[in-house]
A and B are shown apart, each in its own frame.
Chain A
Amino acid sequence: MSADVTTMKTAAEAELAQAFAQAHGKLPGGKAVAAQRQAAFDVFAKSGLPHRRVEEWKYTDLRALMRDAKPLAGPPDAAAKALAKTAGALAGDLEARRLVFVDGAFVPELSDTAKLEEGLSIGSLADALAAGDRVLTRYLGRLAPGDDVAVALNTALMGDGAVIRVAAGSVIKRPLHLVFVSSAKSTASFVRSLLIVEPSARVMLIESHEGPAGSDYQVNAALELFAGDNAHVDYIKLIADGADALHVSTLGAAIGAKARFNAFSFIAGGAVVRNQLFLRFDGEDTVAGIRGATLARGQQHADTTLVVNHIAEGCQSREVFKAVLDDEAHSVFQGRIIVSQGAQKTDAKMMTRALLLSERAEADSKPELEIFADDVQCGHGATVGALDEELKFYLMARGIPEAEAESLLIQAFLGEAIEGIEDAGLRESLMEAVVAWLKMRGTKS
């Protein structure tokens, strides 16, 4: 006798299926996009939400963590838009060109699209999908891994996002800032963006996410980033969602030859965060720095999952990820460096360190190297530990009170990652955010 076993759908899975059934016909895009959405949805339908028995999601059991799926957000009202005016402050005053999205929808009147620099083009994904933009269809879905369920759901339900193109040789001095703001409504937004940086072009893109505490909104964001040969791209992701929010975001990036690529992820918010980075070095002699800092307290759960694929020869990558955890917070770092057979002379070093400020905090680190070439320099290191009592005593013996001594040591710990950011103003803003976070220690957040 064979039993026909079908996994019971969770409430969240049923709600996602319902949301897709209802929205499918109304989401932007023509027939081809609709088919792409359906195919992506089928990936989800087949496997359901990822859970702890799926290796890549072992430490972030989304099926357990996601009790329900919120309805898709409607167009933002005036109150929601008002919230967005001061959003993105975490990045500091970089005089960036702001592109504001509220509950996942582009808000032109809050955005700065006037007087675009030569070589820079910016549009909304919804418009591009509706218009059947050729460029868009050529790039969309090429870098975000289709078999990843978070990406599949993003593709199935994407409503809006930014489509940015920097023409060959253009140096865009003013940083671009995608400001994603969620309102107090208990809804879900699915945003998808594209950044196409043509050869020898230069740009810095900041992506920030935030929303009010007390709202259990959900965000699923994905960015596909194409950097051509000799391009120079700085990409900063700031995750500062409200304390009750669920945030899943994905970067899919392919970097050309002799390029410079710096990515930094800063996680300092959200109840559950999954930050995914899938990077590919397609051209030789590229230099990349992939770094991140996580601050978590209470019962926050913050997962950074990184896959770096060295395909071409002679590329150098440095991965540095730091986490500071207080109370019962839980951080996850999964970092995999793959060196393909042809990627000789690869130089890749990955370091992940977690600092536990409480005995109940937990850090899971899973560094992996998969090396198929024989002439490479690769290494990884992982540490999890408490503050160094000897160093703390040294500082205190000079008259520095305990809380301040700990704060200095924690800033120094995170500094190693934050120092990798090229922009000095942004480095300072993030250190200020760290100091502000540290000041909240011991007080109920």
Chain B
Amino acid sequence: MALLEVKNLHVAIDGKEILKGLDLTVNAGEVHAIMGPNGSGKSTLAYVLAGKPDYEPTQGEVLFNGQNLFEMSPDERAAAGMFLAFQYPLEIPGVATMTFLRTALNAQRKKRGEAELSTPQFLKTVRDTAKILGIDQEMLRRSVNVGFSGGEKKRNEVLQMALLEPKLAILDETDSGLDIDALKIAADGVNRLRGPGRSFVVITHYQRLLNYIVPDVVHVLSAGRIVRTGGKELALELEARGYTEYQEEAAA
């Protein structure tokens, strides 16, 4: 069944329409890649799904697990299984990483009517997951993302995803700013989480990431609409030929 159904979605920011009738269906367990030129609306799609303020839909609807997404606050969406890996993860001075992780995890569990994780259980889960992702214990003692390199911040996003075990993970340009080794580690982290109960929307400008996270479906987003959908070979075609023809199409 469809986990995510986006129907005729229009989104305007400061009066300017960015998404102009976007349709997208993601079934449980599928990995979709969304590729497109800069300014096509990729990040806007990610933010509107996660519920960022000021990213208000003007038309259309989004169903997440059959529920109207726009009636849910960002924390409710997260508890329902939505996860956005940020393109630019934020630094939060003064909020300890462990406090942040535990507060998030327990808030979600509480909302779902599950018991809070015990401290030893929580610590073990975090440590084990961090180890797999090559995240140093020392980093976990710092404030959220403070003093982290770009690559470390991205890996920290994957760590959060692994802990929170979402139904749908949206990766917003997780590859940007990563060297090839960091990219592999992040991709490994994502692949480990792949399974029948979890779907991914991988947003990227480049095909490179899709060598490591192999998608089931590839979409081309241009000027606020999905203009083409295909299999994983579409990504290679885009890499070879660029986005020029789609930009012209959009302008026409």
Do A and B make up one complex? yes
Q: A residues near B, CB below 8 A?
A: 389-391, 393-402, 404-405, 408-409, 411-413, 415-416
B135 CB to closest chain A CB (Å) equals: 16
Q: Does B2 contact A (CB under 8 A)?
A: no
CA of A409 to CA of B144, assembled, Å: 12
A404 touches B107 (CB 8 A): yes
List A contacts of B92 (CB < 8 A): 391, 394-395, 409, 412
CA of A408 to CA of B86, assembled, Å: 20
Task: List 29 A-B residue pairs with CB atoms under 8 Å apart, sorted by A's residue number.
Answer: A391-B90, A391-B92, A394-B86, A394-B89, A394-B90, A395-B100, A396-B75, A397-B50, A397-B51, A397-B52, A397-B75, A397-B78, A398-B104, A398-B160, A399-B104, A399-B111, A399-B164, A401-B73, A401-B75, A402-B73, A404-B103, A408-B103, A409-B92, A411-B94, A411-B95, A412-B94, A412-B143, A416-B93, A416-B94
A393 touches B74 (CB 8 A): yes
List B contacts of A399 (CB < 8 A): 75, 78-79, 104-105, 107-108, 111, 164
Q: Does B99 contact A (CB under 8 A)?
A: yes
B72 CB to closest chain A CB (Å) equals: 11
User: In residues 79-102 of chain B, which contact A (Cβ within 8 Å)?
Assistant: 79, 83-84, 86, 89-90, 92-95, 99-100
**Given A400-B107, A415-B94, does the pair A408, B100 have CB atoms closer than 8 Å?**
yes
A412 touches B107 (CB 8 A): no
Q: Which A-chain residue is minimally distant from B94 (CB atoms)?
A: A412
B73 touches A396 (CB 8 A): yes
B78 touches A412 (CB 8 A): no
List A contacts of B90 (CB < 8 A): 390-391, 394
Pick the contact of A400 from B52, B86, B104 — CB < 8 Å? B104
Q: B residues near A, CB below 8 A?
A: 50-53, 73-75, 77-79, 83-84, 86, 89-90, 92-95, 99-100, 103-105, 107-108, 111, 143, 160, 164
CA of A283 to CA of B100, assembled, Å: 44
A413 touches B104 (CB 8 A): no
What's the count of A-B pairs with C-beta under 8 Å? Answer: 75
Question: Which of B51, B74, B111, B143 has the most chain A CB atoms inside 10 A of its CB?
Answer: B74
CA of A393 to CA of B54, assembled, Å: 11
A398 touches B52 (CB 8 A): no
Pick the contact of B75 from A391, A402, A412, A413 — CB < 8 Å? A402
B64 CB to closest chain A CB (Å) equals: 14
Pick the contact of B84 from A390, A397, A401, A413 — CB < 8 Å? A397
CA of A408 to CA of B102, assembled, Å: 12
List A contacts of B75 (CB < 8 A): 396-402, 405
CA of A393 to CA of B95, assembled, Å: 15
B51 touches A412 (CB 8 A): no
Q: In the complex, given contacts A395-B100, A412-B93, what are 11 additional A-B residue pairs having Cβ atoms less than 8 angstroms apart?
A: A393-B53, A393-B74, A397-B50, A397-B51, A397-B52, A397-B84, A398-B100, A399-B78, A409-B92, A412-B92, A413-B94
CA of A391 to CA of B88, assembled, Å: 12
CA of A396 to CA of B143, assembled, Å: 17
CA of A404 to CA of B108, assembled, Å: 12
List B contacts of A415 (CB < 8 A): 94
Q: Which B-chain residue is minimally distant from A408 (CB atoms)?
A: B95
A116 CB to closest chain B CB (Å) equals: 40
Question: Which of B51, B84, B107, B111 has the most chain A CB atoms inside 10 A of its CB?
Answer: B107
Closest 5 CB pairs of A and B: A412-B94, A399-B78, A399-B108, A398-B104, A396-B74
List B contacts of A413 (CB < 8 A): 94
CA of A396 to CA of B103, assembled, Å: 11
List A contacts of B77 (CB < 8 A): 397
B163 CB to closest chain A CB (Å) equals: 10
B112 CB to closest chain A CB (Å) equals: 10
List B contacts of A390 (CB < 8 A): 90
CA of A27 to CA of B108, assembled, Å: 63
Question: Which of A389, A393, A409, A412 has the most chain B CB atoms inside 10 A of its CB?
Answer: A393
A397 touches B74 (CB 8 A): yes
